[in-house]
A = this chain, B = another copy of it.
Amino acid sequence: MRIALDAMGGDYGPAVVVPAASAALGRHPDLELVLVGLEDAIRESLADHGLEAEERITVRAASQVVSSEDDVSQALRSKRDSSIHVGATLVKEGEVDGFVSAGNTGALMAIPRLILKTLPGIDRPAIATFLPTRDSRVLMLDLGANVDCNSDHLFQFAVMGEVASRAVYGVEDPSIGLLNIGEENIKGNDVVKVAGQLLRESDMNYVGNVEGRDIFSGKADVVVADGFVGNVALKTSEGTAELLAHFLRQAFSASWSSKLAAFLARKVLKDFKRRADHREYNGAMLLGLNGIVVKSHGSADSYAFSRAIEVAASEARNNVNRRITHEIQQMLEVAE
């Protein structure tokens, strides 16, 4: 299992990617990693972390970096030796099983799509991530790759999400929900109404509309949304968690007695923090590309980035793409 990492992406570049690589190697003896980017910067960071002699890490030079401010179409044309180009090309040529980057999201959608193309039967790739629920997890997609989806796109997202949920976490017959503003079939705009119709007619375990409130309740194993709505929902959930964490910190530091209470409850609060830690869920799959690409949060620290590496490895190990292609193929044959 070989995974390429964009060493230049995100807010911290090699300073986060190199220790993340080291942590992932420690947890997965079968893993090999290829660091892609400016060679000097990578070698220096490897030396800083005492990893020059690590045989399971190799370096692949890329002379350019797509910054978060870069215009996507310009990056596409004028930065053909960027770490994102080189990483996606390694995937295309079969030199690695997947590629992880915390770089410019727009470029990370556009460049691998140009290089890898989409899977047969898939019109548009979607960003998908696992999120916590009360007792388990939910796979949500699309989280922002597509701001104007039609009903067929939503249906394809459902197929990809179903396969990924089954393949990565072994969920048997994953239940599919459609993010909407009410439970009844007549709710929502025309796009979701028709998508609901397509899902009801399919063989999938479709459980109907899911409201924002139910994303985290475990009502569905997979929640499908247009990229605009999914992105707003994901970020609203992050914002809500930050607000509540702020209120909790304020309450526990309001007075000497509340600070004492915080000290006495420190183990419990730590357990809570670990449980609610969004770093645990870092690593969004770009499903639908003909090759495995995983997007990390730009602000990810090394623990969070190492989780994104594990998402890519798990996707590769479980043949997610081959299974999506197979499932779509079967549906097309039934439809004929």
Which residue numbers of A lie inside 8 Å of B, CB to CB? 132-134, 144, 147-148, 179, 181, 188-190, 211-217, 225, 227-229, 231-244, 246-248, 250-252, 254, 257-258, 261-262, 264-265, 267-269, 271-272, 275-276
Contact = CB atoms under 8 A, between A and B. Distances in A.
Nearest to A72: B186
Contacts of A236: 212-213, 215, 233, 236-237, 240
A231 B258 contact: no
Contacts of A241: 240, 244
When all copies of this chain in the complex are counted, the total is: 2
B258 A268 contact: yes
A275 B268 CA distance: 20
A261 B251 contact: no
A214 B239 CA distance: 6
Contacts of A214: 239
Contact of A229 (B228, B243, B272): B228
Contact of A228 (B181, B243, B258, B261): B181
Given A181-B232, A233-B236, A261-B267, 15 more contacts: A133-B243, A134-B243, A212-B234, A212-B239, A213-B238, A216-B239, A216-B240, A225-B232, A233-B233, A250-B275, A251-B268, A258-B268, A258-B271, A264-B264, A264-B265
A181 B127 CA distance: 13
Given A181-B228, A232-B181, A238 B264 contact: no
A244 B243 contact: no
A137 to B, nearest CB: 12
Contacts of A229: 228-229, 232
A213, A232, A242, A257 — which one has the most chain B CB atoms within 10 A of its CB?
A232
B148 A189 contact: yes
A276 B217 CA distance: 19
A198 B237 CA distance: 29
9 contacts: A144-B181, A181-B227, A213-B235, A214-B239, A217-B242, A237-B239, A237-B240, A258-B265, A261-B265
Given A213-B238, A238-B213, A262-B265, A247 B232 contact: no
A147 B235 CA distance: 20
A190 B228 CA distance: 12
Contact of A232 (B233, B240, B271): B233
A251 B275 contact: yes
Contact of A237 (B189, B212, B246): B212
Given A244-B276, A247-B276, A275-B247, A147 B188 contact: yes
A216 B269 CA distance: 23
A228 B262 contact: no
Contact of A261 (B244, B250, B257, B264): B264
Nearest to A248: B272
B257 A267 contact: yes
Contacts of A258: 265, 267-268, 271
Given A181-B144, A188-B147, A248-B272, A242 B213 contact: yes
